[in-house]
C-alpha cells in the first residue's frame, strides 16, 4: 500500500451530514469487479438525475473536481453498510483523505486498509474549512506526522487513532504484519482449544453435511 505522509491537493466540499455508504456507492453497482474502476460509481445518485444525466452543479461534476484528492464533509460520514466498495469508489475517483467531524467505525477501518486517511476534526473546524472552500477552490495540505491541516494562512489539528496513523505512514498491510505473529497465534490456540473445545469446528457431521448437500 502507498504510504500516506503529506498531501497537498485541491479539496472538495461535500456539505452534507450522514452521507452513508449506500449513497457513496449504491448497491446496484456492487456486482462489478474492482478492475472496472469504482470511481465512476462514487455518489452516483447524487451526481446524476433519474435519467442518468450528470447534475451540473453537483460538486463532483464541476470542472476540476476530478483533480481533487481531499474531501471535506459533515458528521457521520460513511455510516451504515460495511461495504468496502464505498472506499474503493473514493480511492478510485482519486481521493486520499476525507476530513469530517465523525465517521462510521467500519468505514474508518476500511479507509485505513486502503490507504485513505479519515481525518477527524471538530464541528467548528469542519465549518471553517467548508466556509473557506465555498468561496474559492483551494489547495490544502494534510500532514499526517504532525496531524495538521494547512489552508490559506490557517492551521487546524486533526485526530487519528495512533495505530492507524502508523499503518498509514508506513503503508503497512495487516496480513503481512500478522505473518510475524504466527507462533503467538499457534500457542494461543493450544490453550484456547483445551479450554473451550466446543468452539473448534462443529458437532460431528453438522458442517460436513452442509458441504456434501451442495457439492
Partner 1 sequence: MSRQTLFDKIWQSHEICQNDEGQSLLWVDRHLAHEGSFHAFNKLAERGLTVRHPELTLGIADHYVPTLSRSLTDVNEKTRNVIEQLISNTRAHGVPLIGMNDPRQGIVHVVGPELGLTQPGLVMVCGDSHTSTHGALGALAFGIGASEVAHVLATQTLWQNKPKQLRIRINGSLSPAVSAKDIALAWISRLGADGARGYAIEYAGSAIDDLSVEARLTLCNLSIEGGARCGMIAPDEKTIEYLRDRPMAPKGEDFEFASTWWRTLATDADASFDREVELDASDIAPQVTWGTSPEEAMPITGRVPNPDDEHSPDKARQHRDSLEYMGLKPDQLLTDIVINRIFIGSCTNARIEDLRAAAAVLKGRKSKVPGLISAGSTQVKAQAEAEGLDQIFIDAGLEWRESGCSMCVGMNGDQLKSGERCASSTNRNFKGRQGLGSRTHLMSPAMVAAAAVAGHLADVRPLLQEVSQS
Where does this chain bind partner 1 (CB under 8 A)? 16-18, 20, 22-23, 26-28, 30-34, 45, 50, 74-76, 79-85, 87, 102-106, 109-110, 113-114, 123, 161-163, 166, 174-175, 177-178, 181, 184-185, 188-189, 192, 195-199, 201-203, 206-208, 210-211, 213-215
The CA distances from residue 140 to 27, 101, 130, in Å, are 32, 17, 12
Compare residues 29 and 65 and give the one whose CB is closer to partner 1: 29
Name the grid cell of 147: 496531524
Compare residues 64 and 199 and give the one whose CB is closer to partner 1: 199
Beta-strand ranges (E) seen in the chain are: 6-14, 70-73, 97-100, 117-120, 139-143, 148-151, 154-157
Q: With contact defined as beta carbons under 8 Å apart, do 20 and 89 qualify? A: no
Of 16, 24, 25, 158, the C-alpha closest to 76 is 16
CB of 156 to partner 1, least distance (A): 18
Determine phi and psi for 2, rounding to 5 degrees: -70, 125
Compare residues 34 and 154 and give the one whose CB is closer to partner 1: 34
In angstroms, the first-to-last Cα distance of the chain is 37
Compare residues 53 and 195 and give the one whose CB is closer to partner 1: 195
CB of 97 to partner 1, least distance (A): 18
CB of 56 to partner 1, least distance (A): 19
Compare residues 157 and 192 and give the one whose CB is closer to partner 1: 192
CB of 52 to partner 1, least distance (A): 10
CB of 18 to partner 1, least distance (A): 5
Max Cα distance, the chain (Å): 68
Amino acid at each position: 500500500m502507498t504510504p500516506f505522509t503529506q498531501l497537498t491537493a485541491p479539496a472538495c466540499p461535500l456539505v452534507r451530514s450522514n452521507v452513508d455508504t449506500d449513497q457513496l456507492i449504491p448497491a446496484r453497482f456492487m456486482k462489478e469487479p474492482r478492475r472496472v474502476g469504482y470511481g465512476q460509481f462514487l455518489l452516483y445518485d447524487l451526481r446524476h438525475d433519474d435519467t442518468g444525466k450528470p447534475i451540473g452543479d453537483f460538486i463532483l461534476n464541476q470542472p476540476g473536481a476530478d483533480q481533487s484528492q481531499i474531501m471535506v464533509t459533515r458528521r457521520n460520514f460513511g455510516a451504515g453498510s460495511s461495504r468496502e466498495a464505498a472506499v474503493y469508489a473514493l480511492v478510485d475517483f482519486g481521493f486520499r483523505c476525507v476530513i469530517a467531524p465523525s465517521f462510521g467505525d467500519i468505514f474508518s477501518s476500511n479507509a485505513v486498509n486502503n490507504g485513505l486517511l479519515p481525518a477527524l476534526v471538530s464541528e467548528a473546524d469542519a465549518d471553517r474549512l467548508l466556509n473557506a472552500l465555498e468561496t474559492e477552490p483551494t489547495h490544502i495540505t494534510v500532514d499526517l506526522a504532525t496531524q495538521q491541516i494547512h489552508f490559506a494562512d490557517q492551521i487546524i489539528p486533526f485526530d487519528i487513532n495512533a495505530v492507524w496513523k502508523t499503518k498509514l505512514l508506513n503503508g503497512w498491510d495487516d496480513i503481512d504484519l500478522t505473518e510475524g505473529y504466527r507462533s503467538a497465534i499457534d500457542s494461543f490456540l493450544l490453550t484456547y482449544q483445551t479450554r473451550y473445545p466446543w468452539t473448534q469446528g462443529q458437532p460431528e457431521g453438522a458442517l460436513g453435511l452442509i458441504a456434501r448437500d451442495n457439492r
